[in-house]
Amino acid sequence: MEKLKIKYPVIVEGKYDRLRLLSVMEGQILTTDGFGIFKQKEKLALVRALAKKSPIIVLTDPDGAGKLIRSHIGSAVSPERIIPLYVPQIRGKEKRKAEPSAQGFLGVEGQERALLYDLLAPFAAGKGEERSETPLSKTDFYEDGLTGCDDAAARRNVLAAKFGLPADMTPNALLAALRVVATYEEYKTAVAELSLP
């Protein structure tokens, strides 16, 4: 499989995530050094500068730490400049580690190459030049019972799972992700098929 030439900068957590992505892509990959981005003002300044020139892809682990890092970047960069990508929550441990992560999910480094390739392929040079987001809105979420009702969080988790997204995403994070990974028709079909466990 030929490596993808990704036209946007990609932000990941650590060096092993970066190495894993380099096995499927060519392009600019910046690491946050885990929580280092909270302390290193220059690293966050670099992310901001990159986002001013081009949209940036943010791809963090599907756990609590990844959510915090993603949120920190989101508070520093305008949302329309972020392409939020997510790996699925798969239980397991990375080969180089003695123990699984605190939440027991594989990080970016533990994902299959084919999955990462498919996730990044729409952003390769020469593809998706006129990248368009799904015109999904907060109103859709409200009308479809994904906000504003007692079982909204559970419904969002079921919907997220249908698209291979992590559980317990905030409504805004799920909305941003769905705008990238699903067409409006795919979203409406998935909502129509929602059934709670």
Each residue's pLDDT tens digit, 121-149: 989 876 654 445 678 889 999 999 999 99
Q: Which helix (H) or strand (E) holds 186?
A: helix 184-192
Model confidence pLDDT, tens digit, residues 46-95? 888 888 888 999 999 998 899 999 999 999 999 889 999 999 888 888 88
Considering only CA atoms, which of 163, 177, 178 is closest in space to residue 58? 177
99 compared with 153, residue with greater pLDDT: 153
* pLDDT band per the 50, 70, 90 thresholds, residue 175: confident
Query: Does domain 4-123 sit in CATH 3.40.1360.10?
Result: yes
Q: Which of 17-26, 125-134, 172-181 has the lowest mean pLDDT?
A: 125-134
Measured CA to CA in angstroms, residue 21 lies from 31, 114, 125, 128, 151 at distances of 11, 11, 16, 20, 37
pLDDT number for residue 129 = 45
Intervals of CATH 3.40.1360.10 along the chain: 4-123
What does residue 106 show for φ and ψ, rounded to 5 degrees?
-70, 140
Instruction: Report the alpha-carbon distance of residue 85 to residue 165 in Å, rounded.
Output: 9
Specify the pTM: 0.71
Instruction: Report the alpha-carbon distance of residue 177 to residue 36 in Å, rounded.
Output: 24
pLDDT number for residue 197 = 54
Instruction: Report the alpha-carbon distance of residue 78 to residue 58 in Å, rounded.
Output: 13
Instruction: Report the alpha-carbon distance of residue 23 to residue 110 in Å, rounded.
Output: 12
Output the six-digit token pair for 121: 């392929």
